[in-house]
Chains A and B, each alone.
Chain A
Amino acid sequence: MSTTATTRPGAALLLRAAALVAGVVAVVLGFQWVFDFLRDGEANRIVIVLVAIGVGVCGVFALFWAMDRVVSWLPERGAESVRPYVYIGPALVLLAVFLLYPVFNTVLASLKDGRGQEWVGLDNYEFVFTDESMLRSIRNTAAWIVVVPLVAVTVGLVFATLADRLRRGEALAKSLIFLPMAISFVGAAVTWRLIYSYRPAGFGSNIGLLNGIMIGLGRDPVPWLSERPWNNLLLIVIMIWMQTGFAMVVLSAAIKAIPGEIIEAARIDGANELQVFRRITIPSIRPTIAVVTTYMVINALKVFDIVFVMGNAESNETEVIAERMIRWFFISNHDGRGAAIAVVLFLAVIPVMVWNIRRFREQEAMR
Chain B
Amino acid sequence: MRFPRWMVLLLTLTLFAAACGGDDDDDDTVAGSASEDGGTEEPAEPAEQNENTGSVNVLSAAEPEEADAYNAIFDELINDGADYTAEVESSGSFEEQLQIRAEGGTLDVAAVPQPGGVIDLAEAGSIVALEDLGFDIEELNATFGESFVALGEHNGKHYGIPSNINLKSMVWYPKDDFDAAGYTVPTTWDELIALSDQIVADGGTPWCVGFESGGATGWPATDWMEDIMLRTAGGDVYDQWVNHEIPFNDPAVKTAAERFGEIMFTEGYVLGGAEATPDIAFADAPLPMFDDPPKCWLHRQASFINASFPEDSEAGVDYDWFPLPPIDQEGTLFAGELTVVGTAGNRPEVVDFLKKFIGEEVQCEMGGVQASSRISPNVNVGPECYANEILAAASEVLTTALKEGTGRFDASDLMPTEVGAGSFWTGMVDYLKGGPESLDGVLEDIESSWPA
Residue B272 interfacial (CB < 8 Å): yes
Q: List the A side residues contacting B13 at CB < 8 Å.
A: 54
CA distance A306 to B41 in the complex (A): 44
| Mask: chain A, 161-191; 1 = CB below 8 Å from B; 0 = not | 0000000000000000000000000000000
| Mask: chain B, 12-32; 1 = CB below 8 Å from A; 0 = not | 011101110111011011000
Known contacts A202-B295, A315-B429; is-contact A47 B215 (Cβ 8 Å): no
Known contacts A62-B7, A202-B288, A315-B218; is-contact A34 B14 (Cβ 8 Å): yes
Q: List the A side residues contacting B18 at CB < 8 Å.
A: 33-34, 37-38, 51
CA distance A37 to B22 in the complex (A): 6
Interface centre among A223, A310, A312 (most CB of B within 10 A): A312
Interface band, chain B: 35 or more
Q: Pick out which of these stretches binds chain A: B44-52, B137-145, B354-362, B414-422.
A: B414-422
B272 near A51 (CB under 8 angstroms)? no
Q: Interface on chain A toward B: helix, strand, loop, or mixed SS?
A: helix
CB < 8 Å neighbour of B95 from A30, A44, A198, A330: A330
B279 near A34 (CB under 8 angstroms)? no
Q: How far is the CB of B405 from chain A (nearest CB, A)?
A: 29
Q: List the A side residues contacting B430 at CB < 8 Å.
A: 315
Query: Within B417-451, which residues are at the interface with A (CB < 8 Å)?
Result: 417-418, 421-422, 425-426, 429-430, 433, 451
Q: List the B side residues contacting A114 at CB < 8 Å.
A: 451
Q: List the A side residues contacting B255 at CB < 8 Å.
A: none
Known contacts A311-B217, A330-B99; is-contact A62 B11 (Cβ 8 Å): yes
Q: How far is the CB of A231 from chain B (nearest CB, A)?
A: 11
Interface band, chain A: 35 or more
Nearest residue (CB) in A for B218 is: A312
B422 near A332 (CB under 8 angstroms)? yes
Q: How far is the CB of A256 from chain B (nearest CB, A)?
A: 29
A44 near B21 (CB under 8 angstroms)? yes
Nearest residue (CB) in B for A39 is: B28
Q: List the A side residues contacting B21 at CB < 8 Å.
A: 37, 43-44, 47-48, 51
Residue B10 interfacial (CB < 8 Å): yes
B215 near A309 (CB under 8 angstroms)? yes
Known contacts A51-B17, A311-B214; is-contact A331 B25 (Cβ 8 Å): no
Q: List the B side residues contacting A331 at CB < 8 Å.
A: 95-96, 215, 417, 421-422
A223 near B218 (CB under 8 angstroms)? no
Q: Pick out which of these stretches binds chain A: B65-73, B116-124, B236-244, B342-350.
A: B116-124
Query: Within A37-65, which residues are at the interface with B (CB < 8 Å)?
Result: 37-44, 47-48, 50-51, 54-55, 57-58, 61-62, 65
CA distance A309 to B96 in the complex (A): 13
Known contacts A41-B29, A51-B14, A51-B18; is-contact A200 B215 (Cβ 8 Å): no
Residue A98 interfacial (CB < 8 Å): no
Residue A115 interfacial (CB < 8 Å): yes
CA distance A54 to B17 in the complex (A): 10
CA distance A79 to B284 in the complex (A): 69
CA distance A332 to B19 in the complex (A): 48
Nearest residue (CB) in A for B25 is: A40
A314 near B124 (CB under 8 angstroms)? no
Residue A333 interfacial (CB < 8 Å): yes
Residue B34 interfacial (CB < 8 Å): yes
Residue B212 interfacial (CB < 8 Å): yes
Residue B385 interfacial (CB < 8 Å): no
CA distance A103 to B95 in the complex (A): 23
CA distance A36 to B212 in the complex (A): 47
CB < 8 Å neighbour of A226 from B272, B279, B295: B279
Residue B402 interfacial (CB < 8 Å): no
A203 near B95 (CB under 8 angstroms)? no
Q: A40-B25, A332-B421 are in contact. List 6 more A-B contacts (CB 8 A).
A: A33-B19, A115-B124, A226-B278, A310-B214, A312-B217, A315-B429
Residues of chain B at the chain A interface (Cβ within 8 Å): 3-4, 7, 10-11, 13-15, 17-19, 21-23, 25-26, 28-29, 33-34, 39, 95-96, 99-100, 117, 120, 123-124, 205, 212, 214-218, 271-273, 276, 278-280, 284, 287-288, 295-296, 417-418, 421-422, 425-426, 429-430, 433, 451
Residues of chain A at the chain B interface (Cβ within 8 Å): 30, 33-34, 36-44, 47-48, 50-51, 54-55, 57-58, 61-62, 65, 114-116, 198-204, 223, 225-226, 308-315, 326-327, 329-334
Closest 8 CB pairs of A and B: A54-B14, A47-B21, A200-B272, A312-B217, A37-B22, A200-B276, A315-B429, A223-B279
